[in-house]
Amino acid sequence: MENTTPKMRKEKTLDFHIKWTWHAISRMYNIYAASEDMTMSIGYVLLNIDLDKGTPATKIGPSIGMEPRSLTRMLKSLEEKEWIYRETDPNDKRFVNVFLTELGKKKRSFARTGVIEFNNKISEAISKDQLKVFFEVVNQIKEVVESTTAESKSNLADLLALDQNS
């Protein structure tokens, strides 16, 4: 049987360009962060910790798309570096809040500066109208991905239910 599916070059796919661009941005941030003994991931964690009230550890991972085990290792490392500290929530002992130390606040500020500088460079190179269209398209892609993911989860749940009933 002959394969009638047309060949698609990776350079013609959306996901190739999204992933390639993200990796380029990630490399750029990691080069920037290395001078402060940081990584892009560490920067994102620090940026997602509230300066005044701290942040529940369980809220940090989902806000940046980090798996719980990876976040746990990173928080342990940041605690050893004395960039953060953890406190049990006085109202509910099941929750742990993460706070920045003074050094952690300096590192967070450094990460924030890097993000602002990058966004300023993009704003200088790309017009407001182009950026508006970019954000519209990215949001539409995100909606399609989320819809497809929800559909896949629903189909999987249906299959598992069928399997359990057999």
Task: Please say whether the beta carbons of 108 and 129 come within 8 A.
Answer: no
Per-residue pLDDT, 65 = 85
Tens digits of per-residue pLDDT, 108-130?
999 999 999 999 999 999 999 99
Task: Select the more confidently predicted residue: 110 or 63.
Answer: 110
pLDDT at 39 over 70: yes
pLDDT at 159 over 80: no
d(CA 39, CA 27): 9
pLDDT band (50, 70, 90) for residue 154:
confident
pLDDT band (50, 70, 90) for residue 5:
low
Closest CA to 35 of 89, 113, 126: 113
Q: Which residues are CB-neighbours of 112 under 8 A, at least 6 positions away?
A: 47
Per-residue pLDDT, 1 = 54
Over pLDDT 70: what percentage of the chain? 90
Rg of the Cα atoms in the chain:
21
Tens digits of per-residue pLDDT, 67-99?
888 899 999 999 999 999 999 988 888 888 999
Closest CA to 115 of 165, 63, 34, 40: 40
